[in-house]
Amino acid sequence: MENGNQVNLSADFFLNKLEESKVHFERALDCKHTEFDDLYPYMIEHPQFFWYKRYVAWSELLTVVKLCEELDLPWTERFATHQAEYVSNRVMSSKVLDFWYETNDTREHVG
């Protein structure tokens, strides 16, 4: 293989992609505009649109996290402890959707 065909990607590249995918997921959670809206503008009229949008953003986040794990990059420090746990579990449950932004302060006021 010639040197011209090799690409050396830095840890910063992957950590920046991780941050972008986290922001994308959070924008989808908040029902804010994402690339998905531009790709599928006709979907906005369908009730399941926001579910698909969140699913796409979650899948992207999990993919970038998997790459970070394979490269032994410290991805968990970019998340709150409970968020890193949700991502590690890989399942986008109602708990993830309801408590992604939860902090210790908000937990004290629940129940």
Contact 79, 18 (CB under 8 A): no
**How far is the C-alpha of 25 from the C-alpha of 35, rounded, in Å?**
11
Q: Is the pLDDT of residue 109 over 50?
A: no
Q: Which residues contact 83 (CB under 8 A, 6 or more apart)?
A: 100
Q: Percent of the chain scored above 90 by pLDDT?
A: 63
User: What is the mean predicted confidence (pLDDT) over 5-28?
Assistant: 91
pLDDT in tens, 53-104: 999 999 999 999 999 999 999 999 999 999 999 999 999 999 999 999 997 6
Terminal-residue alpha carbon distance, the chain: 61
Q: Smallest Cα–Cα separation from 99: which of 81, 83, 79?
A: 83
- pLDDT surpassing 70 at residue 37: yes
What integer pLDDT is reported at residue 105 of this predicted model?
59
